[in-house]
Amino acid sequence: TFLPPPDARVSGSEPQGTYNPGELRGIIRVNQDKCVGCDTCRENCPADAMMGEIGVAHKIDLDKCIACGQCLINCPFGAIEQMSFVDEVMGKLNDPKVVVVGIPAPAVRVAIAEEFGAPPGTLTVKKLHSAMKKAGFKVYENNLAADQTILEEGGEIVGKIRYWVLGERSKELEEFGKHPFPHFTSCCPAWVRYAEINYAALLPHISGARSPMLMAGPSAKTWAALNIWKVDPVKVYTVGIMPCTAKIFEASRPEFHAAWKFLREKKIIPDNTPKFPDIDAVLTTRDLAEVFRRKGINPLEMPEEAEEKITEMYTGGATIFGNSGGVMEAALRYAYQVVSGKNPPSWDIYAVRGYTKYGVKEATITLPLKDGKTITVRTATVNGIKNHLDKVVKDVLSGQSPYDIIEVMNCPGGCINGGGQPVQPMGTSW
Ligand code: SF4
């Protein structure tokens, strides 16, 4: 019942071994033998990073590249490749001394089925978990970490409201005085890198919350390893399973070694333990399909697993992270509850959710306070950096922005259209 393995265009992955932490080199690259210089990648690159004349093989300007992979999934000639950890992860899965933890992102569960012939959009949450376990992974839900992210980021938004809107002053709130509105989300590593390269003055506005993957990694290596799985944390090898090639870059950033630091400080591991990262490897959705194929597993044939462990539980607010507006909606749900002391009339905040062909979805949300007053929050959800972000940012930098909270996802419509997803015949630049 398997489909034949995908050709190079669909897989888009090439084993390239290890990479230098914090560097983009090799995460996305143009195969000079395949590139015909059609320029489609330049049309889809949000960072103006593609170089080359029409008809001549293109190159990537690594000082501008944000590793989002939009060039890869839109290249009609399969000439753009992504660093692959498939071989390394296969080796770890086959090593009984290693505890391999898979961290599946929300957009993966709606796309992996496509790689095995199901119609686009087929949802396979429990089948995916079953297939991952059969392949040898323990599952730590990225959605569980997305719930953590919202506690962090929603807490920041509430802190900023208390400091900047309600005028409260206390030691507890001092830090929020350094981070003015508008507040920008931080879950998308391509967006964060784009801001670092192009708009450094904006950084104090961007949430300090780690992305869900970078919350899941250290949580798996500390809390779950010690309390749930009861294994040696040093043996845990964490694999982000992402719709996204920029996550490969994010995992390699040198600042993400929180589990190593924590475990040494608590004397759980010896002082001389070599440094290890919070996330050891990233597989894209295409890569996970390749792991399943090599293991002879078709997720569509797996059972809907009934048992749900604590590392696999999460809320609906986490699942919607996979779509544009999801982080915004989840943060607003949280903020509403905290500032009003009650649940919102509906958990669905359609005004901020989903794709808009205009690129920026605007909304005005009223939050009731506990004293009966109300505050108004103006939001913008940026559906893809390309063509849409720069005006929003320039307004912020010139003090003209009408918004209080801005969600930015690099990919059109959000992670569901990420550069690590199955290649769509029509591309993503709709
Ligand atoms: Fe990755 Fe999602 Fe950002 Fe696209 S929108 S670069 S898939 S995090």
The three state secondary structure string of 64-82 is CCCCCCHHHHHCCCCCEEE
Catalytic residue list contains 186 = no
Beta bridge partner(s), residue 242: 284
Atom 8 of ligand 1 has which residue's CA nearest to it? 188
Catalytic residue list contains 153 = yes
User: What Rg value do the Cα atoms of the chain yield, rounded?
Assistant: 21
Atom of ligand 1 nearest to the CA of 384: 5
* Predicted local confidence at residue 289, as pLDDT: 96
Catalytic residue list contains 168 = no
CB distance 148 to 103 below 8 Å: no
Choice among 175, 196, 255, 301 that is catalytic: 255
Give residue 210 CA to ligand 1 midpoint distance, Å. Answer: 14
CB distance 293 to 300 below 8 Å: no
CA 427 vs CA 160, 239, 336: distances in Å: 39, 27, 37
Mean pLDDT in residue range 251-257 = 91
Catalytic residue list contains 255 = yes
DSSP secondary structure string for all residues of 238-252: EEEEES-SHHHHHHH
Choice among 11, 130, 207, 219 that is catalytic: 207
| pLDDT above 50 for 220 | yes
Residues 6+ apart with CB under 8 A from 373: none
Choice among 81, 115, 250, 305 that is catalytic: 250
* Predicted local confidence at residue 15, as pLDDT: 36
Residues 6+ apart with CB under 8 A from 14: 81, 82, 83, 84
Catalytic residue list contains 187 = yes
Atom 3 of ligand 1 has which residue's CA nearest to it? 188
Indicate the pLDDT class of residue 428, thresholds 50, 70 and 90: low
Beta bridge partner(s), residue 83: 14
Choice among 114, 153, 329, 407 that is catalytic: 153
CA 90 vs CA 15, 96, 281, 283: distances in Å: 12, 12, 11, 11
Atom of ligand 1 nearest to the CA of 66: 6
Which pair of structure tokens corresponds to residue 111? Answer: 């796309």
Pocket of ligand 1 (CB under 6 A): 68, 188-190, 243-244, 246, 409-411, 414-415, 418
CA 66 vs CA 71, 107, 169, 383, 410: distances in Å: 11, 20, 38, 16, 9
Atom 2 of ligand 1 has which residue's CA nearest to it? 415
Residue range 105-116, pLDDT digits in tens: 999 999 999 999
Atom of ligand 1 nearest to the CA of 247: 1
ipTM: 0.87
CA-to-CA distance for 181 and 177, rounded, in angstroms?
A: 10
Strands 374-383 and 405-409: parallel
* 19: number of Cβ within 10 Å: 16
Residues 6+ apart with CB under 8 A from 393: 195, 199, 202
Of these ranges, 4-18, 21-35, 246-260, the one predicted with the greatest mean pLDDT is 246-260
Give residue 77 CA to ligand 1 midpoint distance, Å. Answer: 23
The better pLDDT of the pair 6, 117 is held by: 117
| pLDDT above 80 for 429 | no
Average pLDDT of the chain to the nearest whole number: 90
* 313: number of Cβ within 10 Å: 12
* Predicted local confidence at residue 30, as pLDDT: 93
Catalytic residue list contains 196 = no
| pLDDT above 70 for 119 | yes
Domains of the chain: 26-83 (3.30.70.20), 86-144+212-312 (3.40.50.1780), 152-209+316-417 (3.40.950.10)
Residues 6+ apart with CB under 8 A from 424: 73, 120
Mean pLDDT in residue range 289-317 = 92
Catalytic residue list contains 115 = no
